Structure 1
């Protein structure tokens, strides 16, 4: 399980660190990240697509702690951003400005000005009005920038959750593909915005290479047309969405994506176009876990509940997307030792009990698993929620006045606290009362 594994005695480790000893020092709830998993995932992703030498821009919206981002930046990664705040974090993590891509449907004037002042590499354009606004602000600042038009190719993966599909016609993102030709004809000769590329993002997670094949064929056909019309096409950005392994065998390997994607893009790379890819969860998800403790075990009708000290306020995905995360105790008997992520496979359920794992929030939707087969749990047991490194801490909140958890990065035998656990006092941050004149 990447760098999260059980010892022969049934004790969970992250790299060389005993998770139980870590919890004794830092407490729970706790996000724990493996630095070597982050690095390894990035390196192997890059190697899979080496034939087209893409600019890999990690999607910071999946995991934005700057200490983790720095690990990727030091390996040469760029950053995909969707807000001024994310641009700020990317720069704080020492990302070169020319390796930052700025997307996002609702760019404000202040964010656009900030991005221009920082000298970011590429703006991904979402609409006609947005283009005109960016051009206006760029003209005021006398800055010339590169831009790619976000196109919705009307391609989706049927297994992608409806709330995370973005490439379908009628989506709020980008422009429909038939409008793209007119868009370039209208704005392709702008003095300050060099509209020189096409960007797509078809949703997340994507479980097979087929949707990429369909979408790339559509946009390369568009690029061919635009080139024939005299537009100088320099950038082809195919976005992210590559899946993570939430359960065994659920996701293809990066090489399987590359086998389909590389041959489609290689002719354009050979002509001098820059390929941009924006992986997020595929790098970060399996690089992090969320540790929690069982507060109570209770009965409710014919159900058995494990009430833990984390929930939707720290990991929103199960409540929002009906997402399943493999989870397993931090300490298990030898008969329950596992080596891979398994979710309720029949042959693995012997000697287990069925639980709804729920959190402390006063919402019926506050659950982490329903009807999940687990070793018998009791108050005080440590439970590890795997594949929590993406869309975990970044979506956390203080709902019900619950402070946010701490974050720790493990690098071999070294432990680094990379975010302090919030206190009750932090709930008052920014609440000073002052008169506005």
Structure 2
């Protein structure tokens, strides 16, 4: 569900013609629909309305301060994985008591930083990490609130780079070790075990893996209760997938509805008898953002047609990194017949492409294209490769728009 529509053959973001923005902002740039972000957050929040819950936005998906501030104002918490993300969350309105800190490689200074700011909880991913948090908390005369992140060994049938819940993945603690740590938790004098955490991966479009993870979580909750420990919450992770294909044909289409997910899992969620935390990132911001790029040249080699545009893998790396599919559409529709083309960028890599064998109308230099569903893991993964400045980011609200991050200038490339 998103707010990008054609009106009289012109692409609009909410009530603003994309072409009008491109007349004043250098391409390429990221363009976001504020209402789409709010709509998607509300879909998730309302899905859990019958439970004591906290929706912690995964800051890694898109960390623009305006987007963070918007979600904080809606009541969201923050799922963070670094000191920088803690800083951004606090600076943009997220209360410390709504921040949970995950990640397999927390540095000692990051643990200290989080303790000093009294975040809600650490999601612990190894026994050594638990020992280190305990030591640092001891030195600071604090009690560190933690949840143990389990690795349930569950397959999500997605790209291996975004799977996080299989036994061979680096994330979480295997169930056997979690059970041992529960038995020994009293040995950690400055630790309070208040939760369990599980995150099986990203772009999950099936209910079954969530159900399998909750089954493991429920069994562990029972074991913890036998130890006389009352948990405050169970964090079932995030990873809710979105639609990347045919998003313009069906702008209301949702790959997996949060409401259907929660209703299907209701018996298992009720058995937990704790607060539930859910950590969506992609679901909230992916369809809210697009990359607007301009055609530079057309080229045909050995019968192969290339559309060379000014956005490259430095701006949106997902197609090159994950072979991810993003729908590409013309900002101005025309009646010209379509032909298969490769949409490629200006970077000195053969892997620099936005889409291959895409059926697009006949294009000309100067024409604008929109790369859809780019609001998550887009700008946050951009780089200065080939000494190219980071693109601008623009937010639309109804019939107004503003630059929420200016294009990087050359003087600041390496400062």
TM-score band, normalised by shorter chain: over 0.9
RMSD value over aligned CA atoms? Answer: 1.3
| Farther off after superposition, 243-252 or 63-72 | 243-252
Q: Which residue of 1 aligns with 2:299?
A: 298
Q: Which residue of 1 aligns with 2:412?
A: 426
The Cα offsets for residues 252-298 of structure 1, whole Å up to 9 and x where unpaired, read as 222221122333112323xxx12111000000000111100011110
Q: Which residue of 2 aligns with 1:195?
A: 193
Q: Distance in 2 between matches of 1:130 and 1:244?
A: 33
Tell me the number of residue pairs that the alignment of Structure 1 and Structure 2 aligns: 409
Q: Distance in 2 between matches of 1:314 and 1:136?
A: 41
The Cα offsets for residues 229-262 of structure 1, whole Å up to 9 and x where unpaired, read as 3332222001110011212467122222112233
Per the normalisation by structure 1, the TM-score is 0.91
Q: Distance in 2 between matches of 1:212 and 1:179?
A: 21
Q: Distance in 2 between matches of 1:188 and 1:94?
A: 35
Q: Which residue of 1 aligns with 2:208?
A: 210
* 1:4-403 superposed matches below 5 A: 4-7=4-7, 9-158=8-157, 160-188=158-186, 190-248=188-246, 251-269=255-273, 273-333=274-334, 335=335, 351-403=337-389
CA contact (8 A) 2:221 2:272 kept: no
Per the normalisation by structure 2, the TM-score is 0.96
CA contact (8 A) 1:51 1:262 kept: no
CA contact (8 A) 1:166 1:173 kept: yes
CA contact (8 A) 1:13 1:19 kept: yes
CA contact (8 A) 2:133 2:144 kept: no
CA contact (8 A) 1:327 1:385 kept: yes
Q: Distance in 1 between matches of 2:30 and 2:52?
A: 33
The Cα offsets for residues 86-114 of structure 1, whole Å up to 9 and x where unpaired, read as 00000111110000000011111111111
Q: Which runs of 5+ in 2 are unaligned?
A: 247-252
Q: Which runs of 5+ in 1 are unaligned?
A: 337-350, 430-437
The Cα offsets for residues 10-57 of structure 1, whole Å up to 9 and x where unpaired, read as 111111111111111112101011111111111111111211232100
| Farther off after superposition, 389-398 or 208-217 | 208-217
CA contact (8 A) 2:134 2:144 kept: no
